[in-house]
Structures are given as C-alpha cells and as structure tokens.
A and B are shown apart, each in its own frame.
Chain A
C-alpha cells in the first residue's frame, strides 16, 4: 500500500474513532432535554460522558491535523470551501464545551436549563453538519481548475447530503441511548432503553437508505463500481439492523456494540466510495482532488507514518484503560472519597 493510501485510510480511521466515541456523547447530549425527569438524573447523564468527552473530541483534532499534514490541498480546499458549515461546527462545539464546564457551577434552575439546552443544540447541530459536510466530499461540490471551492454555502445542501446529516443525528441519538443503557441504573436506564427501542427502527431505516444511496452516488458521481463500496454499506446496514434487533430484545451490550459498528461503517462506506478521490468536483470531474494531487510529499508522509505507528496504538491503549476505569454504572448518588483512598487500581 502506498503512503497516500495509508494516510487516506488513517484519516478514515480517525473519523471513525471520532464518530464512534463522540457519537455517543453527542447522542447523550441530544437526549438531555427528553430523558431525565429531575436534576439528579440530568446529573447522571452528564456524569456518564463527563470523564470522556474531552478525550473523544481529541479524535477530531487528530483528524484535522492529519489532514493538514498529509493532504494540505484537501485541508485547504475543504476548510475554506465549507467555511460557514465549519464556523457553525465550531460554534456548536464551543457551546458544548461550556455546558460541560459551567453547568455545575451554579444551583440556579435557569442556569442549568440554559446549559442543558446548549449541550443538546450543540450536539444536534454538530452531528447534522458533520453528516452534511462529509457526504458532500463524495456528492461533489464546485471546485475550479486551481483546486479551490467555487460554490456557495447553499451548494452544500441537496437531498442526499441533508439525509447524510439526518442519518448521523439519528444514528448518534440511537448510539447515545444504547450507551446510557450500559452506564446508568434504575428508572433512567429503563427510559434510555425505551428511547433506544423507539429510535432503533427509524434509525435503521434511514441509515439503510443513506448507505444504499451512497453506493449509488459513488457509481454515478465518482466513477466507482458497485464493489467495494457495497461491502461496508451492507455491513453497516447489517450492523444497524442487528442493533435494532438487540435493542428490542434488551440486549444492551450487543446493541451498543452494533451502533458503534454502524458509526464506523458509516465512515467506511463514505471513504470507500470516495477513494482514490478526497473531494469530488461537481464542475468538471477532472478538477476533483485525489489522494495524489492533494497529498504531501513522500518524506512528510513517511515521517508522519512513524509518528502515527507509535502514538495511535498508545492512544488506543490509554483511552481503552480510561473506559475501563470508568466502566462502573453511574448511580447518581453523592460520591464520597473512601477513607483508604482508591477503590480501583489498574
């Protein structure tokens, strides 16, 4: 495998990691106004993602940085071209960060309600826009012969790309609900399970529709044959169908595994459909950015490959350990430090 392909795959992996992880904390955020009955339950929900959301967002920072280093032209064209969309993403993400940090800092009901909604709207908005933005890479946007985006904000919206956004919103909400069934107890856990059941069927149908359409778009607009894009698409549809089955059967662990797989396969389908292009041009197919014309030189890619080979496994290791440390369900009761110090050692 040449280094360009390796980095294309790696950036796909980073987006997959981002969707798998931040996907459930977006989902929990979107469910905040609907699931909890009282302040205690709201705090439980915040507690389930409190220790990990920051580590989850790192995957986005890494995907952005990797794109800048490995494919500068992709980074430059996408970020300047999707200007307003990314401005909105930044707005939503900053508002979310604030909600995590500041919600607890005052007892006032109005203060807390404000931040609850800020988190929900931020989670919803960021999911929607990421879906629209990534599906646009494949669907095609106007790119001129010098490789710059030459369209407007409204060029980002078509039925297909909006469906891409809606798909992520539903999938993440479903993913967040299955996550909550694993991490909470009591009434809240019951309501999370019932939310997962209600979301499951519609999420499965929309995901199936979007992934099938993606294969068609790959063939129509990106000069691909049905295979290989059909492979991750079928697996993705199978995953979300299995997630629905397990959610309805109340098999929380398996349901969560399957929603996680569906989030990864969403990215895999879009990326497999894109390859070897990174941004399809809708105004002259020849203007499309590819892994070759958008990439850095061999030396940079080689250096970055060594760095990634060292640090990506390390990150997986310590983030995995973090999830192990915080695997206990959140009960919502006050935590009291134990006199002897720690309960868990690794």
Chain B
C-alpha cells in the first residue's frame, strides 16, 4: 500500500475487498457443495457394497458377487472424485482464507490433520487393496479390506465434522494474542454439536446410498432386466432406507434443537421469525415476510405450536426473534448486521426437510410394495424411485446452505467475521480466475462422472457370467 495516500487507497480497496470476500465465499460454496455431492454417497454406498460382498462370502451365492462388482464400480467412480475435490478443500483454507487459517489453526487444524493421519490414509490405502486385491488376497482378507476402507470413510466424516462444528459452536479454546488456542482436545472431540452433526451426516450418507441403489434397481425392473438379481439389492437398500429416513426425521429435528442453543439467529432466520414468540407455530410455506421492512407474510400455512416443540422440546417453548437477537448481538459485538439472508435460510431449511419427508415416503412405499411382491411390476413406483435419486442431493445441498449461510456474518460463530478472514494478499482477479478454473474442471468432472455412472448403472450390466472374469481384471 502506498504510504503517501493511505486513506485514499483504503477507500479504493474497500469495495475491492468485499468483492474478494464474496468471490472467495462463492468459491468455497461451489467447491464444498460439489465435494459433498460425492462424499455422502461414498459414506453410504461403501457399507452397502460391503454388505453385498459379505453376503457373497457367507452364502457363496454368485448373485451377491455380481452385485458387489456392479455397485462397487459406481462406488469407486464416486470415491475418486471425492478424493480429488477433497484435496481442493484442504488447500483452499490457506489459499483464500489465510487470516482465518492463522486464527483457527491451533484448534481447527488439529482435527484436519488427524483426519489425514488416522482416516484418509486408511481409506485410500485399503481401497487400493480392495480394488486390486481380488486375486492376491484371501477372500476373507479381501472382504476385510473393504470394511476397513468403509471404517476410514466414517472416521473421516467424524473429524471433518468436528472441525466444522467448531466453527458453528466453538468449545475447548481460549483467545491468546488474537488467535484461538486449544485448551481441551476432549471438549473439541465431544462437542455436542459435532456428535449430532455426525449422526445427521452418517444417516444422510446411508440415505444417499440406499436411495441411489433403490433407484438403480428400479431402473432395471423397469427394463425387465435381471429382476431376480436386483430384487436382492433392492431388499438391502430398503432395509437401510426405511430406518435411516425415519431416524433422520427425528435426528434432524433434535439437531435443530442443538442449533437453537448454539446459534439462535440461524434458527430464527430459518423460520423467518422476526419477533420473539411463545408458543410458536411452524410455517410450512409462506409468501413474503422475509425482510425487516416486510416482516409479515401475505400468505402462510402454519402448524400451531410445532416450532416451539422443534426448537425447545416443549410445546410452550419460547423462540427468540430476529429483531431481539439482532439487538442482543449489537450490544455484545458492536454495531453491524448480524442477520443471515432470511429468505435463503428459510427456504433451504424447508427444501431439506420436505426432501427428507419425501424420501421417507418413497422408502416406505417401496418396502410395502416389496412385501406385497409388487416392486418389480409397479411402474409408477419405479419411475418415482428413479426420480427420487435427485432428492438426497437436493437435501444435502440445502442442508449445507442452511448450515453455512445461516452462520453469517460469522466465519467462526461469535469470534471472527467472514469479512475479515480472507487472504489479504490474494487479488480479486486471481480468486475470480481460480473460481473459473474450478468451475470448468468440476463441470467436466461432473459430466464425465454422470456419463460413467449412467453407463455402469445401466441395464446392459452387470456382465453375464462368462464376462465376470474379465470384469475383475478391468477394475
């Protein structure tokens, strides 16, 4: 910065700086949402494929081997993209958010490093063993490599969510010389917010895996292809999907209550609740009411007392309003706007919740048809299940938008603002260029991934028996 006119250059840089933050945010949102399209499918498809292989190992029934290979290929295509896009996430904190990195490194860096050492190394190495170990390991050991890789992916998710949850609900730290320092690793690892987020995410993963498998099975039923084979897979998928979607409705709700105590503003925004209420109704749908100047919706459908119950566990509970919270935060942190974008938060919460309910209905209908032995013939359901593959993707994306945008203006709740956390030395131009590079790369990745997934999921496969040997080699 030039020394002769500091005031002027600061004035000139202010709008640029906000663009840099906006671009860096856009980049993080793009890359992390994209990353998380692949991660939960890995979390859920892994144990399902491992179950298929376990069934084969136990029964010797070749159907299970063919299902293992068939869905294993989808699992691997998906895993590879998760790895590639995960590396971007690790580098991006330092590249775009160096002030944040220096502020939180003591605390936030630790679970990231542990993830690498304890989990990522495990899953990558053992997945390599599984892919190429078909002829080199004993069947029992080979099966074990897949389960160990699955364990790695689940541990990975835990440590990443410990890191993320610390941004939502910081615990086990003190501030020394303007940086957060860890004081208790146990507080960090047992953060109630993290444990709930983990359960929520693991269930999301299982829902991803089971809904995708169910959809693919239905595609094959629709074409009348190998109904016998895919009935077995559909049974496993339904056995996962029904309890997982049902439990998720409960867990998601309880998670909401945890958010209420840690991030009241996020919950108030997700309900577009401008003023404190007691008891509070849950708005299912509304038109208008998303800005301070227009706080009352012109139309809404509301279920009485439900919000009180969801947020506090009691039908008479009090939920604080945006205006009151804003006043509190101003007293605590000084002047500024402490409200996230209410419209976006309100709708992301609903999209997530409605998609969750729809997935439960799909799973329940599927289970009922399966019991009635109609699954292979109910074309309306087969089409529904194929379309429903989109639902977990929509729900997960909306969920992260709610979690991360609902935290704004903070990057670490109550400790550091997003607008002050980006790299001071990275120009807007280069953040823009790198955003362009990632978007281009990810679009290519996405298109090729979709084409490959579609090809490998398509009813021409799995390969007939005599091609099985070759399929093993071409992994």
Contact of A57 among B95, B124, B142 (CB under 8 A): B124
Check B9 for interface membership: any CB of A closer than 8 A: no
A9 → chain B closest CB, angstroms = 15
Which residues of A have CB within 8 Å of B25?
A: none
Which residues of B have CB within 8 Å of A86?
A: 91, 95
A47 → chain B closest CB, angstroms = 8
How far apart are the CA atoms of A70 and B129 in the complex, in Å?
A: 31
Within 8 A of B (CB), among A72-93: 72-73, 75-81, 83-84, 86-87, 90-91, 93
Contact A55 B121 (CB under 8 A): yes
Within 8 A of A (CB), among B104-157: 104-110, 112-118, 120-122, 124-129, 131-139, 141-142
A side interface size, CB within 8 A: 73
> With A80-B95, A341-B138 in contact, do A73 and B106 touch (Cβ < 8 Å)?
no
Contact A66 B87 (CB under 8 A): no
From B330-338, B402-410, B421-429, give the one contacting chain A.
Answer: B421-429
Which residues of B have CB within 8 Å of A72?
A: 101-106, 109, 179
Which residues of A have CB within 8 Å of B126?
A: 318
Contact of B124 among A54, A76, A296 (CB under 8 A): A54
Contact A334 B94 (CB under 8 A): no
Which residues of B have CB within 8 Å of A336?
A: 135, 469, 472-473
How far apart are the CA atoms of A93 and B81 in the complex, in Å?
A: 12
Which residues of B have CB within 8 Å of A227?
A: none
Which residues of A have CB within 8 Å of B181?
A: 296-297, 299-300
B51 → chain A closest CB, angstroms = 20
DSSP class of A's interface residues: helix, strand, loop or mixed? helix
From A198-206, A279-287, A308-316, give the one contacting chain B.
Answer: A308-316
A75 → chain B closest CB, angstroms = 5
Interface string of A320-343 (1 = CB under 8 A from B): 001001101000001111100111
Check B325 for interface membership: any CB of A closer than 8 A: no
B160 → chain A closest CB, angstroms = 11
How far apart are the CA atoms of A249 and B118 in the complex, in Å?
A: 41
B81, B115, B128: most-surrounded residue (chain A CB, <10 A):
B128
Which residues of A have CB within 8 Å of B136?
A: 325-326, 328, 342-344
Check A64 for interface membership: any CB of B closer than 8 A: yes
B78 → chain A closest CB, angstroms = 10
Which residues of B have CB within 8 Å of A219?
A: none
Which residues of B have CB within 8 Å of A62?
A: 113, 116-117, 120-121
Chain B: which residue is nearest A153 at the CB level?
Answer: B430
Which residues of B have CB within 8 Å of A97?
A: 80-81, 83-84
Check B164 for interface membership: any CB of A closer than 8 A: no
Within 8 A of B (CB), among A214-270: none
Contact B121 A64 (CB under 8 A): no
Contact B138 A335 (CB under 8 A): no
Contact of B106 among A79, A297, A318, A319 (CB under 8 A): A297
DSSP class of B's interface residues: helix, strand, loop or mixed? helix
Check B287 for interface membership: any CB of A closer than 8 A: no
Check B232 for interface membership: any CB of A closer than 8 A: no
In this complex, the interface size class of chain B, counting residues with CB under 8 Å from chain A, is 35 or more
How far apart are the CA atoms of A61 and B113 in the complex, in Å?
A: 8
Check A50 for interface membership: any CB of B closer than 8 A: yes
Contact A80 B138 (CB under 8 A): no
Chain B: which residue is nearest A73 at the CB level?
Answer: B102
Which residues of A have CB within 8 Å of B91?
A: 64, 79, 86, 90
Chain B: which residue is nearest A298 at the CB level?
Answer: B181
Check A2 for interface membership: any CB of B closer than 8 A: no
> With A51-B131, A337-B135 in contact, do A80 and B96 touch (Cβ < 8 Å)?
yes
Chain B: which residue is nearest A312 at the CB level?
Answer: B117
Interface string of B170-182 (1 = CB under 8 A from A): 0000001001011
How far apart are the CA atoms of A78 and B101 in the complex, in Å?
A: 11
Check B441 for interface membership: any CB of A closer than 8 A: yes
How far apart are the CA atoms of A310 and B185 in the complex, in Å?
A: 16
Which residues of A have CB within 8 Å of B117?
A: 62, 65-66, 307-308, 311-312, 315
How far apart are the CA atoms of A311 and B118 in the complex, in Å?
A: 6
Which residues of B have CB within 8 Å of A34?
A: none
- Identify 17 new A-B residue pairs, CB closer than 8 A, beyond the known A97-B83, A336-B135: A51-B128, A54-B128, A58-B121, A65-B114, A71-B105, A72-B106, A76-B102, A83-B95, A87-B95, A90-B87, A94-B84, A98-B445, A300-B106, A307-B118, A315-B117, A342-B138, A342-B141
What are 22 A-B contacts defined by CB distance under 8 Å?
A61-B120, A64-B91, A65-B109, A65-B117, A66-B116, A68-B105, A71-B105, A76-B98, A80-B95, A80-B98, A83-B426, A86-B91, A98-B445, A100-B80, A296-B106, A318-B122, A337-B134, A337-B472, A344-B138, A345-B137, A345-B141, A346-B141
